[in-house]
Structure formats: structure tokens, C-alpha cells
Amino acid sequence: MRFQQSVLALAPALVAAITPPNLPGMSIVWSESFEGSAGSSPNGDVWNVMDAINTNNEVQTYTTSNQNVQISGGGTIQFVPRVSQAGLWTSGRIETKGSWTPAPGKVTKIQSSILLGSNSAVNKQGIWPAFWALGDAMRHGTQWPAAGEIDIMEQVNGLNTGFGTVHCGSAIGGPCAEPLGLKGSTAIEPSGFHTWGVTIDLTNDDWRAQTISWTMDGNVYNTLTGATINDAPIWSSLAHSPLYILLNVAVGGDWPGAPNAATLGGYGSMMEVQWVAVYSS
């Protein structure tokens, strides 16, 4: 490994879990606070630790190794991309086994507290952390992007910009302008944890007036309406259908491009997550 320091050495002793905050007028439907001993795998009753994923021309291989994804012992989970002396990349990706359907007439929020690390952008060329949700229809034969995808937070190449995106409809063009999707963005303060979230507001009976909005630390930076999609079944795939939650750090691919020789799979390239929660009004 080019990065020699053990992730385990960075992990603090086991402490109490860091729980998601209560939100006014909302209840927590489900949450995960990543309790466990340092170096352990995420709760297998809740998460699938993925491998054999091949999308977007990414260069990493996802593994179940605690060198790539592990409970820290400090109330977080850590995702660490690594590169071998031969230039082969590995990283981590987890997906919830369960899924959640936004309730008609209600507001649903999916949120997570995430640290993206603070090393220089040159050392993050090709690194692509993400917190996102996919339509559960993907697990039952519906193809992407027709199943629906909501990217709650993505960052590429260590730039201090976070992106929120939807993918939907047909593989080329369509209401989500595929394959790029419909994007919004916000500036990121690189130090510390930030709360990233998406809000699906179905309180209006008219689907055209319903909204999906993206927040960082509670501040809305992008909003999409049903009227923008302008197709009831496609809007339903995003806002009315069950979604499962994903966390991963990809390497390379169509968007960030190839990692460069200076990129290190070390602490600075880690994504660390304190909690994930689903809320409903």
C-alpha cells in the first residue's frame, strides 16, 4: 500500500453512539448510529456490504474488508479508498437492506452527518464520495434510471462543492436530462461534519406542486418540483416509491476522471459518517 498508516490506529476508543437530532414536527422512522468495536463490519441485519459493482467506468473494486469500510469504535463508520503498489484501487460501499416509501400527504426527510476530510484537492483527484438513494424497483428488475435515483450528496476530486442530483426516466435525454441528471450545488466548508439531506414534500395533493429539496446543515440549496419533471409516472418513481439508502466512496469514473499518481488512499480521502436517519411528519 502507498498509504501505510493503519485506519485502526486513527480510531478512538469505543464511545456512546452519536444519534441523529430530533426535528420539530417530525418523528424518526429509522436511524443508524454505527455503534460497535473498532474494525468491525456494519450491522449485517441492516446493511449489505457490497462488492462486484461495476458502473460509471470507475476503477475501484469494492470489498468487504475493514481496510475499506469499518466501524471506527468512536460512533462512526469510515470509508477508505486504497491503492496497491500495482496501482489497483479498492474502496467501500454499503446499502440498506430495507427501503422507505414517502407517505402521501406527509414530509419525508433522509439525512446523514458526514465528514469528507480536509486534505488538498490535488490528493483527491478521482475520489468520489456519495450519500444517495435508489428506487427499490432496481432490486426487482427495473433498469436505471427508470427506477429513480436521488443523489443527496456527492463530491468529486476534493473540490469544496457538494452536489444534489436526480436521475430518472430514459437513459438518454428525458425529463432528467440523462445521463447527467438534474443537478444543484452548494459550497462546502471542508472542515468538520455537515448534515446533508433531501426532503420529499407530498403535502400538496397536486403532484405537480410537490417538491424534492436538498439541504446542507438545514439550508436549502436546490428544489425540484413535479411540474419540472412534467410526467406523473416518472415523478412517482422519485417521490412516491420506496427508496433504499447507499453510502460509498468511488474512485475514478466518467465524472471525476482517473485518479492521479499523487492520490493517496489515506485518512484525508476518507468519508466518515456519524449517523443516517429517515424522518416523517
For residue 27, give the H/E element and its range.
strand 27-32
Give the model confidence (pLDDT) of 2-55 as tens digits: 333 334 444 444 456 789 999 999 999 999 999 999 999 999 999 999 998 889
Tell me if 98 sits within 8 A of 110, measured CB to CB: no
* pLDDT, tens digit (0-9, with 9 covering 90-100), for 248-258: 999 999 999 99
Q: Which three cell numbers stand for residue 176?
A: 432528467
The number of CA neighbours under 13 Å toward the Cβ of 128 is 22
CATH number at residue 248: 2.60.120.200
pLDDT digits (tens, 9 = 90+) for 202-244: 999 999 999 999 999 999 999 999 999 999 999 999 999 999 9
For residue 196, the tally of other CB atoms under 10 A from its CB is 24
The pLDDT of residue 265 is 46
The reply to whether 137 falls in a domain is yes
Residue 1 counted as domain residue: no
Decide if 259 is inside a domain: yes
Instruction: Tell whether 152 is covered by a domain.
Output: yes
pLDDT at 87 over 90: no
Kindly state the percentage of the chain with pLDDT values over 70.
Answer: 89
Is residue 172 one of the residues assigned to a domain?
A: yes
For the chain, what is the domain count?
Answer: 1
Mean pLDDT, rounded, for 174-192: 95
* pLDDT (tens digit per residue) in 100-151: 999 999 999 999 999 997 655 557 889 999 999 999 999 999 999 999 999 9
Round to whole Å and give the CA distance between 130 and 108.
20
**CA torsion, ordered 115, 117, 121, 127, to nearest 10 deg:** -70
State residue 155's pLDDT score: 96
Q: Which range of residues forms the domain containing residue 33?
A: 7-280
* Rounded Cα–Cα distance for residues 69 and 250 (Å): 12
